[in-house]
Structure 1
Amino acid sequence: MSKPLVIREDSGGICTLTLNRPDKRNAINRDLFRAFRAHIRDLESDRDTGLVVITGAGGHFCAGHDLKQAPHADALGWLRQEMLILERLTKLRQPVIAKVSGSCYTGGLELALAADFIVCGDSARFADTHGKWGLVPGWGLSQRLPRRIGQARALEMMFTSRPYSGAEAAAMGLANHCVADADLDAKVTELAALILDNSRHSNAENKRLVYDTDGMALDTGLSHELMRNAGFDPAMRQKGEAIGSARKGG
């Protein structure tokens, strides 16, 4: 029996999705993408998971699209399907962390950018190599990368196709954190504990407000925050009332 192309592991409210073509540095072919798409669809209705981590097997995150695979008969239609699934990844209620070591190139970089933030090891190498192959982005890189690191830095990455180290990625704001590879699991675990200790309602609604108002003028964004506010988490309100009663009793 062949190994799954995407491995899902659930523990303590965390869902880890591992791209599993280590012999190809987890390059994405259509079968892998279909498996990934199925997991994202499952997570959209999953209320037991409070955090999603995307990573890769074998010491690499993802080398991008598998260019050895022949194009789909409806290349533009398939590309649109891929792009829409990455947008659904971004819109998951759960916070999403890309945990990166080794190669994070081109389509792999676009996948990482669809996460809420990136945590990487010092072996990580980030690059946009569309230009090397005469390609242009189709998974959102031209939109997400400038918003993450600024227009000039994004254009430099796109024009040069050179790899950037994990330390460089953290310095420019592409990655939130860069740590030694040996400490990468521990760093993600630390962040996960902090995230999961907070209200899932608040995490989901804060995420929604940030993405929904991206690009709005400040006054429009402030109005959106007020008028589209989802209010208190009922579970946390009960917790607060319980604490208040305990203090009064003491």
Structure 2
Amino acid sequence: MPNPVLFEVDNHTAIITLNRPERRNAINQALLIALYDALDEVRSSGTIRAAIITGAGKSFCSGLDLEAFHSENIFNPRGDGRDFPDVINACRKPIIGAINGHAVTGGLEIALQCDFLIASERASFADTHARVGIHPGWGMTQLLQEAVGIRRAKQMSFTCEFVDAESAFNWGLVNEVVPHEELLQRAKQIADAISEANRPMLDTIRELMESRRNASLKQALVKERRGFEAFARERKLIGG
């Protein structure tokens, strides 16, 4: 049986490929176990500085395999109490979603958990939770509106209609749209640029950006300023 997730390292970048193309990379327990293991490897590696998640074949990920949903442990696949948001958020290294085709429902949630997305011109996005009658569980109701605004998020989630790559770019869901054959190359270029950054400072900037979710703008700005003052004192750029 083919590996449900392929894992390779190119320079300092891990490339994680969802690999069930015959099922449009639908999510089952085996795929999740392999995906979580890959993300844990990214987290623990001393040489991997960024990761790319993409899909094999024509789809990025079509969401839950409904057959597996009723017969397998999707939400605690390794039996360690950790679900997808727990694993990817613990990774703490930049993750680029390279969206090569359909990203649907659970597949869209995987994409939304990435730091940002680069899309093939063939990519499309949909949230069909309301159509299939399955409760969102990986951040759809919060992360989609964070990406596109609450009104567009409501439109996507209420209608279950697909959004093409151009619209996804215009709405702010993806950062770039590139020709299909250039997708992975472009994602690698971005990952290489990230790999050249100062890692401790990159981690600090990420933490400051993400702290805005739980703080007012004023509180977030104060936190950034205090961090700069501590940085400057340590390097004797300012007195005190």
What runs of 5+ residues in structure 1 fail to find an aligned partner? 238-250
The corresponding residue for 2:179 is: 180
Moved more, 220-229 or 25-34: 220-229
Moved more, 222-231 or 21-30: 222-231
**1:143-154 residue pairs with structure 2 within 5 A?**
143-154=142-153
TM-score (normalised: structure 1): 0.84
- Residue deviations 1:63-111 (CA, integer Å, cap 9, x gap): 0010122525777766x97874324313423111000011100000000
The corresponding residue for 1:242 is: none
Report the identity percentage: 31
Count of residues paired in the alignment: 232
The corresponding residue for 1:109 is: 108
Matched, 1:31 2:30: yes
User: In 2, Cα distance between the equivalents of 1:74 and 1:59?
Assistant: 26
CA deviation after TM superposition for structure 1 residue 196, in Å: 1.9
Change (3 A) 1:231 1:20: farther
**1:4-43 residue pairs with structure 2 within 5 A?**
4-43=3-42
CA deviation after TM superposition for structure 1 residue 125, in Å: 1.0
CA deviation after TM superposition for structure 1 residue 193, in Å: 2.7
TM-score (normalised: structure 2): 0.87
Asked if 2 retains the 8 angstrom alpha-carbon contact of 1:26 and 1:61, the reply is yes
The corresponding residue for 2:210 is: 211
Change (3 A) 1:82 1:135: farther
CA deviation after TM superposition for structure 1 residue 184, in Å: 1.3
User: In 1, Cα distance between the equivalents of 2:176 and 2:127?
Assistant: 20
The corresponding residue for 2:159 is: 160
SS in structure 1 at match of 2:66: coil
- Residue deviations 1:110-168 (CA, integer Å, cap 9, x gap): 00000000000011010001111112211110011111111000000000101111111
Asked if 1 retains the 8 angstrom alpha-carbon contact of 2:76 and 2:83, the reply is no
User: In 1, Cα distance between the equivalents of 2:75 and 2:161?
Assistant: 27
RMSD: 2.5
User: In 1, Cα distance between the equivalents of 2:180 and 2:100?
Assistant: 7
Change (3 A) 1:13 1:74: closer
- Residue deviations 1:197-244 (CA, integer Å, cap 9, x gap): 221222222112211332411121123334456849xxxx9xxxxxxx
Change (3 A) 1:84 1:134: same
Change (3 A) 1:199 1:76: closer
